[in-house]
């Protein structure tokens, strides 16, 4: 299944009728949520947005987060999962805040579909979303320096080059083996979504 995902030939209703018109337009709708959402069943919809698969989509994301958090703990970082940090009238919950010495790094994880928007754009969006928290996080965690980064692993197992700068800036060593593991976790999670 992983090879089909990577090649973009996983069978969905939209893929099945590709280039042809179905006898009835509802034959293209998602078999799980199409009656309510009126959304076509595409690989992106099933992998990222289908309400029927929400638990598995979250599990895939959380597996990447927890694996990264465990690795940070092994390297001597204090790790905080989803801390609620208030900025003005809003409260934001980044996936991880890792602290070593007097430096904290806010890291948010994403597992997007690798199509259309490239992974570096996802990196940039995540960083800009949480940069506003740097002053509040410094007070909250009682540290001098706060950095913001992101970790983006494609749903089909692609590593974003932008991840390397995040990991380097916070001092978290990420071997090729760990990168491969995180990519495999994302790919296996996506396979589980399609098998559901």
pLDDT at 74 > cutoff 80? yes
Q: Say how far apart CA 100 and CA 170 lie, in whole Å.
A: 9
Domains of the chain: 2-52 (no CATH), 53-195 (3.40.1350)
pTM: 0.85
Mean pLDDT calculated for residue range 36-57: 79
pLDDT bin (cut points 50, 70, 90) of residue 71 is: very high
Taking residues 8-19, report their average pLDDT.
60
Helices (H), the chain: 2-7, 13-16, 34-37, 43-44, 54-74, 119-130, 134-141, 162-170, 176-195
- Say whether pLDDT at 16 is over 90: no
**In the structure, what pLDDT confidence band is assigned to residue 28 with cuts at 50, 70 and 90?**
low
Give mean pLDDT, residues 152-179: 92
């Amino acid at each position: 299944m992983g090879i089909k995902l990577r090649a973009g030939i996983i069978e969905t209703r939209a893929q099945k009728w590709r280039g042809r018109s179905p006898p009835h337009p509802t034959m293209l709708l998602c078999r799980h949520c199409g009656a309510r959402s009126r959304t076509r069943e595409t690989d992106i919809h099933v992998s990222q947005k289908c309400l029927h698969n929400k638990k598995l989509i979250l599990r895939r994301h959380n597996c990447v987060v927890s694996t990264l958090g465990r690795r940070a703990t092994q390297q001597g970082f204090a790790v905080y999962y989803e801390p609620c940090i208030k900025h003005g009238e809003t409260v934001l919950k980044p996936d991880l805040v890792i602290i070593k010495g007097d430096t904290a790094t806010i890291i948010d994880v994403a597992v997007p579909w690798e199509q259309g928007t490239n992974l570096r754009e996802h990196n940039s969006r995540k960083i800009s979303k949480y940069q506003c928290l740097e002053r509040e996080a410094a007070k909250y965690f009682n540290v001098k320096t706060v950095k913001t980064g992101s970790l983006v692993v494609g749903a089909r197992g692609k590593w974003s080059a932008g991840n390397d700068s995040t990991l380097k800036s916070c001092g978290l060593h990420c071997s090729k083996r760990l990168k491969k593991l995180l990519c495999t976790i994302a790919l296996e999670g996506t396979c589980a979504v399609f098998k559901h």
